[in-house]
Amino acid sequence: MVIFGGGGDLTKRLVVPALYNLSRNGLLPEQFAVLSVDGADIGVETWLNNLHASMKSFVATRNIELQLQELDDKAWSRLTDSMHYVAGDFLAEDTYRNLAEQLPRLASQYGIAPNVLFYLATPERFFGEIIDRLGAAGLADEASVGGWRRVVIEKPFGHDLASAMSLNARIGKVLREDQIFRIDHFLGKETVQNILAFRFANGLFEPSWNRDRIDHVQITAAETVGVEGRGAFYEQTGCLRDMVPNHLFQLLAMVAMEAPSSFDAEAIRQRKAEVIEAIRPIEPADAVRGQYGAGAVNQTLSRAYRDEPNVSPESATETYVALKVNVDTWRWAGVPFYLRTGKHMGRRTTEIAIRFKSAPIASFRSSGVDAFGPDWLVLQIQPDEGISLQFDVKKPGPKMALAPVRMDFKYADWFPSESNVGYETLLYDCMLGDATLFQRADMVEACWKAVQPILEAWAKSPAMDFPNYASGSAGPSAADTLLAIGHGHAWRPLGQPLLPYGSRRKAVRDAEAARSETAAVKTATRRRKVKTDKAGEPDQASAKSAAESTPKRTRAAKPSA
């Protein structure tokens, strides 16, 4: 595995931790080596020390993504013993001549067949340049080397439709489509892959998975973090380019695709491509943009986006996007898909929420019930991976009254927790040549085609109201209007999920008990004060009576989630 940009942040935070997890779980091949290519002339020892310090910091800070309790030194050593480093400019021919010499030497040293996975963990501007030079040096030619050669390309794949088409054409001159793995780490998450299993392995839900039963779908990817020092990158990219054509559209495709004829890569990718190609080009009127101002996230004061390092004080770059998307297929005609994503929001969550149509109210007209609560099926991607189903039941009592309840499945309740950054499955699939979770050229171009009208409109008319949502909020008010107009829909709250009815009643009882206790204490205190004022000092009997009338303080039970 050759990592271009081995000294960068992506390699440190995601690629190497994923390789470590594969090593720890015995999923790396016995004959395996890593060669890092980076511009910094630091040497392999310094590079490995930096990686080790980074891994130790993940353990010390209980990194949310890595979920490491401790570092397995044996697994780490097994990985690092096969890791090497070469300094080289990505644009210099000498770098590729050096690679051509190093690869056969490492293959001989470790007994590896001439199979190489090139990973482009670099800024987008180097993608085409690196692949051109790999081709010129003969490093991508499988016929001449006698083994397979594959290339992993990170996002963003282009910055608009024209650039994506140009990049596809450029790399297509060097590589076949089956050699190209356009990676999206969202698709490496277990709960994303579970969407297909949930839909197609259970006969209960798929018959209702259509416009006859589903009212609308909400897909949310909310982050509490800001740009975290990546101001220069984000100024050129923005939230729409960073999240929508890849992450959110991929989730949409998994939800909306037809059943594949089989679970091989091409059958699944073809079904997903059909969905993306059926997305109606999104009109600017169906898009809302936002930029965070100052506020508080998780009770911590947060600065505005324009105050971030390397960000213009007049920046018109969006940090929030909400879209109304129409998928023009027979299954989904007339069902709106609402997508939203943003930074510095009130809660970190990624979920797909499917709202079912309400049942007819006619049977309940004489009972006093005049409306039903919403029926939701929620696929929770992160942080609490699982599935929940919300529906109405009758409240206990003589009258016909309804209450919403929820059934929950959580991965953590059924399966052991494993350290996973989302790249493990993807890297493993790359080594196997399984492209199921990766985008084809036509899929990438279809994604950009859908958002191109928005990109053009926003470029011509920069936002005049930024910042338009406070850090720690749910986004700009215009996003609420987007759902309300026409359909009368509303976003699901980003706060705590539905509290079970019994827990709500218990919470109310606890609150009432606490208030009664406080009132009793105040009353007893006043009585003691009155007796003291009258007699100068209370007698022992009065003091004892007052003490006995004061209930002991007890902690109210915490309501269950």
Residue 359: its pLDDT value, please? 78
**334 neighbors 486 (Cβ within 8 angstroms):** no
Category of 433 on φ-ψ map: left (φ > 0), alpha (ψ -120 to 50) or beta: left
Residue 230: its pLDDT value, please? 86
Q: What is the mean pLDDT of residues 392-399?
A: 81
Q: What is the DSSP string of 50-90?
A: HHHHHHHHHHHTT-TTT--SS--HHHHHHHHTTEEEEE--T
Q: How confident is the model at residue 238 (pLDDT cuts 50, 70, 90)?
A: very high
Alpha helices in 411-500 (DSSP H): 411-414, 424-432, 441-460, 477-484
- Residue 541: pLDDT over 50: no
According to DSSP, the residues that pair with 118 across neighbouring strands are 2, 151
Residue 388 is which amino acid? S
Average pLDDT, the chain: 86
* Catalytic residue (choose from 247, 344, 487, 489): 247
Q: What is the mean pLDDT of residues 277-283?
A: 94
Residue 422: its pLDDT value, please? 81
247 is catalytic: yes
More confident residue, 156 or 407: 407
Pairing of strands 349-356, 214-222: antiparallel
Residue 219 is which amino acid? I
Q: Look up residue 110 and give its two tokens.
A: 């470790």
Query: 463 CB contacts (<8 Å, ≥6 apart)?
Result: 289, 291, 316, 318
Q: CA 241, CA 165: separation in Å to the nearest integer?
A: 15
Q: CA 57, CA 435: separation in Å to the nearest integer?
A: 33
Between vectors from CA 465 to CA 460 and to CA 466, what angle results, nearest 5°?
Answer: 90
Between vectors from CA 200 to CA 196 and to CA 204, what angle results, nearest 5°?
Answer: 125
Q: CA 311, CA 323: separation in Å to the nearest integer?
A: 25
Q: Look up residue 185 and give its two tokens.
A: 């780490």
Residue 405: its pLDDT value, please? 86
- Residue 93: pLDDT over 90: yes
**47 neighbors 6 (Cβ within 8 angstroms):** yes
- Residue 92: pLDDT over 90: yes
Residues counted in the chain: 561
Q: How confident is the model at residue 554 (pLDDT cuts 50, 70, 90)?
A: very low
Q: At what angle do helices 73-80 and 43-60 cross, to 10 degrees?
A: 150
Q: How confident is the model at residue 193 (pLDDT cuts 50, 70, 90)?
A: confident
